[in-house]
Amino acid sequence: MAEAPIASMKVAPTAPAVDADVLASIETPYLMVDLGRMDAAIADMAGSLAARGVALRPHAKTHKSLEVARRQLAAGAVGLTVATIGEAEVFADGGFDDLFIAYPLVPIGTKGARLRAVAERARLSVGIDSPTGAEAVADALGPAVDTTSVLIEVDSGGRRSGTAPGDVAAVAKAAARRGLRVVGVFTHGGHGYEGPEAKAAAAADEVRALTEAAAGLSSVGIEARVVSAGSTPTALMSARGAVTEERPGTYVFGDRQQVALGSIRPDAVAAAVVAMVVSVNRAQRRFVVDAGAKTLSKDVAPYLAGHGEIPTLGGQPIARLSDHHGAVDVASGDPMPEVGQVVAVLPNHICPVVNLFDSFSVFTDGQPTATWRVDARGRNS
């Protein structure tokens, strides 16, 4: 469990156990999910947060899948977090009726009509971080302001969106003037991804920023009923009683980055890109798999080496990626594969990887058992 991390950067992650000939029965490159590992991750996070009395609203941008979201809700999640109106549309279409768009929305033009349509058929919460955002959301929602909840985003040190904690009251006043129902505050301590030592400080920063933000709401007469933090590294590290809700996403699959951060056990990574060795150069001790930047993405945290690793070939990192090639330089003594060999590659960061595929190949006990769509792939708007 992430609460007592046992992983370290010295412990290499393992791939789900599937025989090579079974892996090879599907055309490479493809995205595999081990159902047992995924369901265990879903249950672990739900159980850990329930034990802390904190609501779990998982971020669906990681998986973009109706089927995965159903399993999260069945395990106790209160609703879903999404990043875009497009993702909200997909999950509303799929029957999910409690959705939070955790993003500083500025829904101008036709996007406003789309937001209102979602608000009219789901219990919707949306983020804002500026008076301009408040105006645009109010214009978009029209009469749906009465049934839509608004949360103000506060920056807790992640250096992206979110207003300063001291400016929350001003944003709340602008929202209230337009009749928006402000119900709370949210943040994302993205700086918890900076390294294994950064998580605890980022979780504390989240709590500090949210507490100041809630006080800002209170100063203009609004109670912060929702105090929402979250990322997979920080989700179980917030001070007890300080938040009402956590929004981790990546925990559902895990990846090399989460293992390095100590947020996921090395034997718990549930997703991999399965690829074929298409070229071997024995003289230069190099081989190439048919997974490149268009399947593994190019996302390398400073504490990771390479663009993914292959546990069944000694955990060797992929040194270079082009669009359709992943090149591995094989250390002396490590095994050289054969052309045609099919291997599982553990990606650095699973979120952008999922968005590069149209479907998951789901494995149960080492056998392919289902294909699930990546329902919200590409819904970036």
Residues that bind a copy of itself (CB under 8 A): 24-25, 27-30, 61, 83-84, 103-106, 108-111, 129-130, 132-133, 136, 153, 155, 159-164, 190, 276, 278-281, 283-284, 286, 288, 290, 293-295, 297-300, 320, 322-325, 327, 338-340, 351-352, 355-358, 378, 380-381
Give min distance, CB of 193 to a copy of itself, in A: 9
Measured distance CA(5)–CA(39) in Å, rounded: 19
Residue with tokens 């779990």: 56
What whole-number distance in Å separates Cα of residue 326 and Cα of residue 322?
A: 7
Q: Closer to a copy of itself at the Cβ: 44 or 87?
A: 87
By beta-carbon proximity to a copy of itself, the closer residue of 86 and 196 is: 86
Strands 55-56 and 245-246: parallel
Show contacts of 298-307: CB within 8 Å, 24+ apart.
Answer: 299/348, 299/349, 299/352, 300/348, 301/193, 301/257, 301/260, 301/348, 301/349, 302/194, 302/195, 303/9, 303/195, 303/196, 303/260, 304/256, 304/257, 304/260, 304/348, 307/348
Whole-number minimum distance, CB 315 to a copy of itself, in Å?
20
CB nearer a copy of itself, residue 54 or residue 82: 82
Closest to a copy of itself by CB, 75 vs 175, is 175
Nearer Cβ to a copy of itself, position 367 or 380? 380
Q: How far is the CB of 363 from a copy of itself (least distance, A)?
A: 17
Closest C-alpha among 108, 261, 264, 91 to residue 189:
261
Angle at 118 between CA 114 and CA 121, to 5 degrees: 145
Q: Which is nearer to a copy of itself, 4 or 283 (CB)?
A: 283
Are 207 and 242 within 8 A, CB to CB? yes
In DSSP notation, 261-281 reads HTSS-TT---EEEEEEEEEEE
Cβ 208 to a copy of itself, closest distance in Å?
17
User: What is the nearest approach in angstroms of a copy of itself to the Cβ of residue 117?
Assistant: 14
Nearest distance from C-beta of residue 149 to a copy of itself, angstroms = 19
The helix (H) or strand (E) run that includes residue 229 is strand 226-229
- 289 with 328: CB under 8 angstroms? yes
75 versus 128: smaller Cβ distance to a copy of itself = 128
Quote the least distance from Cβ 4 to a copy of itself, whole Å. 27
User: Whose Cβ is closer to a copy of itself: residue 72's or residue 231's?
Assistant: 231
Which residue, among 189, 120, 180, has the nearest Cα to 160 in the 3D structure? Answer: 189
**What are the structure tokens assigned to 8, written together?**
């370290």
Kindly give, in sequence order, each residue whose CB lies less than 8 Å from that of residue 137, ignoring residues fewer than 6 positions away: 105, 107, 115, 126, 128, 150, 175, 180
- Closest to a copy of itself by CB, 8 vs 322, is 322
Closest distance between a copy of itself and the C-beta of residue 154, in Å?
A: 11
Contact 234, 218 (CB under 8 A): no
| Least distance in angstroms from the C-beta of 132 to a copy of itself | 4
For residue 181, the cross-strand partners are 149
